């Protein structure tokens, strides 16, 4: 049996996936999660072989009251290299090439879009469990054409906080930076992305899956 945890904050989609996957004779859904913190807790409790993981979901709060990983990619990064870490298939509503590159760099073994037929998803789960990698072929081609993100780690973090609507002062407090440093990172990102404002930089980076 392939022990599986399903992590997605959309209740209807998660319930549908669990119901469909539970029909497979060789798949046992042993846990569910709705946010980053809950996903880490479910993996620690159930020790799944495979984790089906949404890209965009809330951080949540751990039992110690701390914020969990900010999204699915951060969950994958947290689990990478841990003892008995599950094989991870990342699911996304948005087939953005940058997401594919980031998930693979985070250690995921598979990347699929959510409208993938369930038969193909089940096949991907089996393949990943066997130690193989499974990637949506169209997204793989897009990833090669888009290329790697031109942003530095700090520029990426600044735009991620900015994407949530944070003003310069809020970004500075969140990332423990000075407001001047935040403005410098934003200015650099704007130049690299060929746009004219912070909002356009956030949009460009988001559309490419770089944040």
pLDDT tens per residue, range 143-198: 555 667 888 989 988 998 898 887 899 999 989 999 999 999 999 999 988 888 99
Helix axis angle, 168-175 to 153-163, nearest 10°: 130
**Structure tokens that stand for 171 in this block:** 């970004």
Backbone angles phi, psi at 7, to 5 degrees: -120, 115
Contact criterion met (CB below 8 Å) for 78 and 70: no
Domains and CATH numbers, the chain: 2-145 (3.40.50.2300), 153-207 (1.10.10.10)
pLDDT tens per residue, range 47-57: 999 999 998 88
**Structure tokens that stand for 53 in this block:** 């993981």
pTM (2 d.p.): 0.70
Tell me the pLDDT band of 20, cut-offs 50, 70 and 90.
very high
CA distance 158 to 55: 19
> What pLDDT is stored for residue 172 in this prediction?
92
CB neighbour list of residue 119: distance below 8 Å, 6 or more residues apart: none
């Amino acid at each position: 049996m392939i022990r599986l945890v399903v992590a997605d904050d959309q209740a209807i989609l998660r319930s549908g996936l669990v119901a469909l996957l539970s029909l497979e004779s060789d798949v046992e859904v042993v846990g569910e999660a709705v946010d980053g913190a809950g996903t880490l807790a479910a993996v620690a409790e159930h020790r799944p072989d495979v984790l089906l993981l949404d890209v965009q979901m809330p951080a949540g709060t751990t039992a110690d009251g701390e914020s969990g990983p900010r999204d699915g990619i951060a969950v994958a990064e947290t689990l990478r290299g841990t003892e008995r870490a599950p094989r991870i298939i990342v699911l996304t509503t948005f087939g953005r090439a940058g997401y594919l590159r980031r998930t693979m760099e985070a250690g995921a073994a598979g990347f699929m879009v959510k409208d993938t037929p369930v038969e193909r998803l089940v096949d991907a789960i089996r393949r990943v469990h066997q130690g193989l990698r499974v990637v949506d072929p169209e997204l793989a081609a897009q990833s090669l054409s888009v290329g790697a993100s031109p942003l530095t780690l700090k520029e990426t973090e600044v735009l991620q906080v900015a994407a949530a609507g944070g003003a310069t002062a809020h970004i500075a407090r969140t990332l423990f930076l000075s407001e001047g440093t935040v403005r410098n990172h934003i200015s650099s990102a704007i130049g690299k992305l060929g746009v004219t404002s912070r909002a356009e930089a956030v949009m460009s980076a988001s559309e490419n899956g770089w944040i």
